[in-house]
Amino acid sequence: MGQGEKDSADNLVSPSDDRNELQVEDLRVKERCFEQREALPGEPRCVICGRYGEYICDQTDDDICSVECKTALLARIAAETKIPVKAPARVKVPFGDESFCVRDNNFPDIPSLHASQIASLRNKLDICVKGEAIPDPIMCFSSCGLPEKLVHNLDAAGYTMPTPVQMQVIPASISNRSLLVSADTGSGKTASFLVPIIAHCSRRELQQSESKRGPLAIVLAPTRELCLQVEDQAKVLGKGLPFKTALVVGGDPLAQQIYRIENGVELIVGTPGRLIDLLMKHNVDLTDVSVFVLDEVDCLLERGFRDQAMQIFRALSCPQVMMFSATIHPEIEKLSNSLLNNMIHISCGNPGKPNKSVRQVVIWVESKQKKQKIFEIIKSKQHFKPPAVVFVSSRVGADLLSEAITAATGLEVISIHGEKTMKERRERLRRFLTGEVSVVVCTGVLGRGMDLVKVHQVILFDMPNSIDEYIHQVGRASRMGKEGVAIVFVNEEDRKLFGELAQVLKTAGAPIPRELSNSKFTSSVSLGTDRKRKLSSRAHS
Ligand SMILES: Nc1ncnc2c1ncn2[C@@H]1O[C@H](COP(=O)(O)OP(=O)(O)OP(=O)(O)O)[C@@H](O)[C@H]1O
């Protein structure tokens, strides 16, 4: 046992005094939370992480599983009793220092892990990384020197432990590296970029004069609704910190947005078009913007948005760029590698596939029968699980279908799409999120990134244009591993997606409609034993 380990072991009291009966390895105090096993029924539980509370904290008498959780516990108590803990300055970590987080000056008790331990930890958490000198994942929010108020806000929001994507992205981001992150829908990517941004902004604020308050970070997202949601979450997590935000989306008056920015904000959240508009019409000082986030990067780098996103990128001076999506293809990797140096690629869970927690029920329905089918589902107590989101492919289709469902079922149904005014979109989304209305029919505006926490059922009335959009729309039925169901209508009109859809269903072990599996458009996909050779039985008869 090294000196550091001995010192920390001295501060923990084992509940069992009869140490002689223990195996030698049992005497080693667990340094890291993940080294501890789960608690068995009736055993003490760690007050921080819930694992086996093998030790008693000498300062609080609480059950605790490891030195790491003891440190987290004491940090939490310090925050609650408002003992000021000086936040460490944002440092440029020299390349080669792989364990910035665990060697944080605030937490000298926690030693670094060996490379093999880190690899096994990543393996356990389903985290894959690519790049040089990648910082170690963190196990709790308090272990990488975040401002205490931010840790408090995370706790108050119910974020007791970071999700795997947050465990890896937060330390990587704090080390100022550019990142390309792919992770499942609903896995917590938003906080993984907001936490380091808020930490960065609140620290820089301490060092800068009050008069100079140019934005420090920009988050781009493809839809107004998603921007609204990201800004809301930023406000919740940055509460009480010197951290102000501006929402820059179309449909709201530009003058108000300019006024807000002029009064000093740290973060701008916006859609590419409106942000370009604002930057062209008004002189916003972007000199201090050092963090640029592209949320739903694959969508933002598609043809419609790419020029605008690149224009904003070029207006910034060498920012740290963080890119996120549940669907990232090799072209995006190639493009980002060509734009940025020394990037880290992070992949968590099962990106590029529908979330495993969503059961996909694909039904073959001819176009003329679709309305009748959805009425049946919504009228069925067994199949209708409100609140539900119905995705369609056109704005007019959204209006017509919402009216038709109301007429057929008596339920109040609203539509949301890009032709509504911003005021209407906001108000309708509010009514849906607060439960006033239980069904919304929408176009892809709610398909990506929207955190519709209470929704566990989505109906894809029209198949989207690509399998990526399918993955995102299906993903609205589950957040943080909660179970959901996606009912999907398909017919011959969707044939261009048959191959990919059949593959996705096969991988998920979901039933494939006979018409789909027998279609010539799926013939390139091996559907295994589901495809029986018809002639074999006749040959024997
Ligand atoms: N550490 C955490 N503990 C508890 N809940 C969390 C944590 N991090 C995020 N969440 C919650 O998980 C949900 C999903 O998070 P988020 O919207 O960031 O997912 P996402 O990965 O961006 O998904 P998508 O790809 O669909 O946009 C949200 O309701 C969020 O509040």
d(CA 268, CA 116): 40
With beta carbons less than 8 A apart as the criterion, state whether 336 and 342 touch. Answer: no
Report the pLDDT value the prediction gives residue 25, as an integer from 0 to 100.
38
d(CA 229, CA 235): 10
Could you read off the pLDDT of 363-379 as tens digits, one per residue?
999 999 999 999 999 99
Report the pLDDT value the prediction gives residue 316, as an integer from 0 to 100.
95
* pLDDT greater than 70 at residue 234: yes
Lowest mean pLDDT among 40-44, 202-206, 317-321: 202-206
Cα(98) to centroid(ligand 1), Å: 27
Report the pLDDT value the prediction gives residue 533, as an integer from 0 to 100.
39
Report the pLDDT value the prediction gives residue 208, as an integer from 0 to 100.
56
Q: Is the CB of 349 under 6 A from ligand 1?
A: no
| CA-wise closest residue to 352 among 327, 323, 324, 325 | 327
Containing 55, the helix (H) or strand (E) segment is strand 55-57
* pLDDT greater than 50 at residue 425: yes
Q: Is the CB of 476 under 6 A from ligand 1?
A: no
Residue 118 vs residue 488, higher pLDDT: 488
Q: Span 288-296, mean pLDDT?
A: 96
Report the pLDDT value the prediction gives residue 111, as an integer from 0 to 100.
57
138, 182, 190, best to mutate for ligand 1 pocket (most atoms within 8 Å of CB) = 190
| CA-wise closest residue to 438 among 459, 460, 417 | 459
| CA-wise closest residue to 66 among 107, 122, 22 | 107
Structure confidence at residue 362 as a pLDDT band (50, 70, 90): very high
Report the pLDDT value the prediction gives residue 206, as an integer from 0 to 100.
53
Report the pLDDT value the prediction gives residue 181, as an integer from 0 to 100.
98
Report the pLDDT value the prediction gives residue 80, as an integer from 0 to 100.
62
With beta carbons less than 8 A apart as the criterion, state whether 215 and 205 touch. Answer: no
Q: Is the CB of 354 under 6 A from ligand 1?
A: no
Q: Span 404-430, mean pLDDT?
A: 95
What's the predicted TM-score (pTM) here?
Answer: 0.79
Q: Span 195-214, mean pLDDT?
A: 75
Q: Span 256-283, mean pLDDT?
A: 94
Q: Is the CB of 517 under 6 A from ligand 1?
A: no
Q: Span 27-44, mean pLDDT?
A: 77
Ligand 1: atom nearest CA of 161 is: 1
- Looking at the chain, the domain(s) classified CATH 3.30.60.220 span 31-76
Report the pLDDT value the prediction gives residue 16, as an integer from 0 to 100.
38
Cα(375) to centroid(ligand 1), Å: 32
Q: Is the CB of 296 under 6 A from ligand 1?
A: no
Report the pLDDT value the prediction gives residue 46, as an integer from 0 to 100.
82
Q: Span 406-413, mean pLDDT?
A: 96
Report the pLDDT value the prediction gives residue 211, as an integer from 0 to 100.
58
Instruction: Encode 234-272: b = buried (16+ Cβ within 10 Å), e = exposed.
Output: beebbeebbbbbbbbbeebeeeebbebbeebbbbbbbbb
Report the pLDDT value the prediction gives residue 58, as an integer from 0 to 100.
82
* pLDDT greater than 50 at residue 11: no
Could you read off the pLDDT of 314-338 as tens digits, one per residue?
999 999 999 999 999 999 999 999 9
Using a 10 angstrom Cβ sphere, with 0-12 exposed, 13-18 middle and 19 or more buried, the burial of residue 22 is: exposed
Write the single-letter amino acid at 522.
T
Ligand 1: atom nearest CA of 185 is: 25
pLDDT above 90: percentage of residues in the chain: 66
With beta carbons less than 8 A apart as the criterion, state whether 151 and 44 touch. Answer: no
Structure confidence at residue 429 as a pLDDT band (50, 70, 90): very high
The CATH architecture to which 31-76 belongs is: 2-Layer Sandwich (3.30)
The Cα angle at residue 503 between residues 500 and 507, in degrees rounded to 5: 140
Determine the straight-line distance between the first and last CA of the chain, rounded to whole angstroms: 75
Q: Span 188-215, mean pLDDT?
A: 82
* pLDDT greater than 90 at residue 7: no
Ligand 1: atom nearest CA of 451 is: 17
* pLDDT greater than 60 at residue 341: yes
* pLDDT greater than 60 at residue 36: yes
Residue found under tokens 């119905």: 390
| CA-wise closest residue to 149 among 267, 210, 239 | 239
Spell out the CATH class of 121-204+212-346.
Answer: alpha beta
Report the pLDDT value the prediction gives residue 2, as an integer from 0 to 100.
36
Q: What single string gives the DSSP state of each residue in 197-260?
A: HHHHHHHHHHHS-TT-----EEEE-SSHHHHHHHHHHHHHHTTTSS--EEEE-TTS-HHHHHHH
d(CA 386, CA 383): 10
Report the pLDDT value the prediction gives residue 112, as an integer from 0 to 100.
65
Ligand 1: atom nearest CA of 160 is: 3
Ligand 1: atom nearest CA of 183 is: 21
Q: What single string gives the DSSP state of each residue in 259-320?
A: HHHHT--SEEEE-HHHHHHHHHHS----TT--EEEEETHHHHTSHHHHHHHHHHHHTSSS-E
Report the pLDDT value the prediction gives residue 227, as an integer from 0 to 100.
97
The CATH architecture to which 356-523 belongs is: 3-Layer(aba) Sandwich (3.40)
Interface ipTM: 0.99
Lowest mean pLDDT among 69-78, 89-98, 238-247, 263-272: 89-98
| CA-wise closest residue to 337 among 307, 301, 311 | 301
HSE-up of residue 330 (Cα within 13 Å, Cβ side): 0
Lowest mean pLDDT among 26-30, 175-179, 400-404: 26-30
Instruction: Quote the mean pLDDT of the chain.
Output: 85
- Looking at the chain, the domain(s) classified CATH 3.40.50.300 span 121-204+212-346, 356-523
